[in-house]
Amino acid sequence: MPIVRIDIQSGKTTEYKRSVLHGVRDALVADLGVAPERIMQRIVETPREDIDASDPRSDRLTIIEVAMLPRARELKEALYRGVSSRLGVEPGISSHDLVIAVNDFGGECLFINGRMQCEGALPLPVAPAEAPAPDQVPEPADDAPTVTSEPEPAAADEAPATATEETGL
C-alpha cells in the first residue's frame, strides 16, 4: 500500500488538487502495477510565506513523498517519469517545480488495520501503560499473584519483508 503525501502551495482549486491526485495515482497503477484501491494519498497545503526553497520555484512547487516497500531502480525511474509527464500535462506542473522522494522501507515499518504489514505478521499486543511513580504504587494485597518474568522478545533473525500479494505493498 503506497502512502503518498503531496505538498503544494495553498490556494489551489479543487480541480487542480484532484488532477494532481489522479496523475500520481495513475502513475502508481501504470508504472508500478499497484491496484488503485491499495493507494492512500493526501494533499497538504502550505501558505506561500511558509515555503523556503533555495532554487526559485513557481507557485506550482509540488513535493511528492511516496512511502512503500522497496522496488527496483527501473520501476522507480518509470514512476518518476510517469508522474512528471502526467502532471506536466494536467494540471501543468513543470518538471522544475516537481520534487519526488521515494521512501522504501521494510514491512515491519508499517502498521495498518491493527497489524504490522509484513509477511506472516501477527497483531501487535497493546503496550502496557506507563508505570506510576514509586510513591504512587499501591501496596499489593496479601493474596495478589506476583509476576516474576518478562515475555520473550520476538526472534531477531526474521528475514526482511518483501512486497507480497497479501499485503499489496
At residue 33, the pLDDT reads 95
> Is pLDDT larger for residue 33 or for residue 114?
33
Residue tagged 507557485 (cell numbers): 59
Residue 12 has pLDDT above 70, yes or no: yes
d(CA 118, CA 116): 6
At residue 67, the pLDDT reads 94
To the nearest 5 percent, what fractions of the chain are helix, strand and coil? Answer: 30, 20, 50
Question: Per the domain annotation, does 121 fall within a domain?
Answer: no
Residue 147 has pLDDT above 70, yes or no: no
Residue tagged 508499517 (cell numbers): 110
At residue 110, the pLDDT reads 73
Question: Per the domain annotation, does 168 fall within a domain?
Answer: no
Note whether 161 and 108 are within 8 A (CB).
yes
> Is pLDDT larger for residue 71 or for residue 147?
71
At residue 129, the pLDDT reads 57
d(CA 4, CA 65): 6
Question: The C-alpha cell of 49 is what?
Answer: 510565506
Strand, helix or coil at 44?
A: strand
For residue 27, the domain's CATH number is 3.30.429.10
Q: What is the pLDDT of residues 105-139, one digit of tens each?
A: 876 777 777 877 665 555 555 555 555 555 554 55
Question: Per the domain annotation, does 70 fall within a domain?
Answer: yes
Number of domains in the chain: 1
> Is pLDDT larger for residue 138 or for residue 14?
14
Question: Per the domain annotation, does 132 fall within a domain?
Answer: no
At residue 146, the pLDDT reads 46
At residue 23, the pLDDT reads 98
Query: What is the domain extent for residue 41?
Result: 3-108
At residue 159, the pLDDT reads 39
At residue 145, the pLDDT reads 45
Question: Per the domain annotation, does 36 fall within a domain?
Answer: yes
Question: Per the domain annotation, does 119 fall within a domain?
Answer: no
At residue 164, the pLDDT reads 41
| Closest to 161 measured CA to CA, from 119, 116, 99 | 119
Question: Per the domain annotation, does 48 fall within a domain?
Answer: yes
Question: Per the domain annotation, does 135 fall within a domain?
Answer: no
Q: What is the pLDDT of residues 51-109, one digit of tens each?
A: 998 888 999 999 999 999 899 999 999 999 999 999 999 999 999 999 999 998 876 77
46 forms beta bridges with 9
d(CA 119, CA 10): 39
